[in-house]
């Protein structure tokens, strides 16, 4: 029997970072994503976001990849958001995302960071947050 515990913090935004995730239905989306993850055997420990992006803390299973998990969450949730008419135009997630591994010793700090997104984004934009992640993790922005 294989035992695997790989924590990944995944962040993705709405298409063109449009502020479409309104506060009045954001929690419904989170609850739906939680239920969908449960049905697909995706262990989602924490989820939260703001008007233009979403954070998920996932523990990968032995046969799961970051790309597949992200595709399942984004694809199904955008379908569900559109089906339920939460936005007045077609809802889409941006193709890109970023993901970073999380040490077991940092789980609580990452969970708190994800839980406090509304407070966090009262002080800085998602763009500023992305720039900080780029510097912190040594990523380079690749122009299309």
| Model pLDDT for residues 5-49, shown as the tens digit of each residue | 899 999 999 999 999 999 999 999 999 999 999 999 999 999 999
Q: Residue 55: helix, strand or coil by DSSP? A: strand
Query: What's the CATH number of domain 6-136, 3.30.365.10, 3.30.470.20, 3.40.1080.10, 3.30.70.1290?
Result: 3.30.70.1290
Nearest to 81, CA basis, from 32, 43, 38, 37: 32
Give the pLDDT confidence of 69-84 residue by residue, as tens digits: 999 999 999 999 999 9
Q: Is the pLDDT of residue 67 over 90?
A: yes
Residue in this structure with the two tokens 């800085």, named with its chain if needed = 124
When mean pLDDT is compared across 34-38, 85-89, 115-119, the lowest value belongs to 115-119
Nearest to 115, CA basis, from 30, 25, 2, 19: 30
Name residues whose C-beta falls within 8 Å of residue 82's C-beta, 6 or more positions apart in sequence: 90, 91
Grade residue 137 by pLDDT with cuts at 50, 70 and 90: low
Query: Would you list the DSSP string of 59-77?
Result: EE-TT--HHHHHHHHHHHH
Q: What is the mean pLDDT of residues 119-125?
A: 72
Q: Give the pair of three-digit tokens for residue 46.
A: 């924490």
Predicted confidence at residue 142, as pLDDT, reads 58
Domains in the chain: boundaries: 6-136
- The model's pTM: 0.85
């Amino acid at each position: 029997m294989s035992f695997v515990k790989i924590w990944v913090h995944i962040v993705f935004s709405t298409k063109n970072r449009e502020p479409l995730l309104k506060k009045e239905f954001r929690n419904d989306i989170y609850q739906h994503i939680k239920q969908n993850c449960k049905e697909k055997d995706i262990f989602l420990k924490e989820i939260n976001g703001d008007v233009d992006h979403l954070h998920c803390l996932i523990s990968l299973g032995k046969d799961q990849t970051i790309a597949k998990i992200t595709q399942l969450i984004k694809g199904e949730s955008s379908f569900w958001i559109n089906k339920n008419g939460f936005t007045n135009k077609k809802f889409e997630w941006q193709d890109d995302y970023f993901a970073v591994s999380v040490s077991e010793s940092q789980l609580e700090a990452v969970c708190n960071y994800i839980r406090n997104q509304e407070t966090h984004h009262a002080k800085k934009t998602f763009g500023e947050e992305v720039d900080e992640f780029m510097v912190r993790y040594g990523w380079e922005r690749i122009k299309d």
